[in-house]
Structure 1
């Protein structure tokens, strides 16, 4: 086995690092950048669990030929001045989290990584090591655990560690679907929106979908989504008639978790439900699945089916309550590690992301 050269360890060899990880995004809203991103993402055997000899010819012969151009247009429609919304909001979360932890007196280096695309997990882990971090907490920004999301982060971190001779101590946050701070931040986000704009007849909690087969194989994702939905409904003081859990972003011909968000929007409109709000608890930061698939496509579908108004409630993004909840979550998982030594505030703060 070939080991990577060891980074030069900084003056503080007992520093603690925190690695935030989100899914990833193309570097630009162009067909070429989208093609590179999708090639990495969709070639992961945890993401698409079709036998490689069957899937790879489809991926490279059909999907990567036809899909990037259309996807690039969708990305361009939501692209922010600073870049992709997912990258922008994830970076702001990392920066705000570094400030929050520093304000609490915790000396923790915070870095951001993307599971697919840039900055890569190996790159951000190297930055933490160069800053002298001998202990790293890995916090995937996926509230609900799935093999196709959280476990792929574990895979990438493990692959990076396998190439290091002097590996740091590692801890992982597996899931936080029932975390009180996460639930409170979401409830506060929704209630603040309703206070400003009024409450609708129906609230959809739309989670990213998974092939139904994944649940049969033991993935806890569906159960965790349902629990998040129930706990959030209770915090909002609503009943089962006012809130529904649905699943979006279906890909391919296989059966996925149901009910599907888009068909359910059509049914609600046909049943005379004129106003629907949609919130996406599984997305910690706004991205193409929320801003384009729900706020644009979902709204168009609902209005064409006879609905009067669909409002998308923004993701937690850099909401102060959410940043506080993230800091609480991180501090709980870093208990016993040296985070209170004297020193300067975090220099990384995901600034190079």
Structure 2
């Protein structure tokens, strides 16, 4: 295949019937949920809770991606035809993709912070500070943004007009090579590391014999939900993209177009599945912070507003009542449940 940019003849209007409803639901539900999560995280950052730095960056990535969804709705309503110009295409594409892959990195960092905080709380103490977490976050944003910018430059080519904006029907040999070469860094490595960190956390908790079985089951269920959500929501789209670009490098143009025509709808369907994670993230990861849950309970409970948080509620909200003293201190310092 040559290095020119081309488009495969696919049914562009086939995706609007599910893309527009999904994008609209994520926009309407995800925007207030992530804003609410950010509001709660502000207090956690003031209290120097390290985990809140990574969760805050995750929520920011969600918000920036959500704010790009109206452009996706517009594009779908126009059968993927882009009428906003090349500059707008570059800006929207860079914002959407940067935050898309930044999310993978911060999900991995959240798992890493739980693992290090529980297993090696002293060895990596510099990473267990607000300044250390902030520096790591900045490096992640710069790295992801740089990779996405390189990819968009390769994908856009030298075309002055933008009939379609970064559409999956577009063929570009150099960009396909680039996508295949970075898939390990952008997804597979974070995926493996996230699984490793959480499974090690579960293994360490299994060793705590004084931890109540009920509490253990809650922690196991919660972490299993995090892992399942990640693999079910994020993995299908990444696998579809790798499959599509891998064969673009290997096959002739006609064969690639036949492949793209067959999987085009499935790529967009798995993309919608991934984007729906913008609703689940604030609901799921905010539960990692015990004080945030407590604040929400106080806000929603008139009794708590009048008399304070009952002792019974405090006992049920954390693990400190049944964890050994060393782990109690660690959990109390980090203010998390797992």
**TM category, shorter:** under 0.3
Larger helix fraction of residues: 2
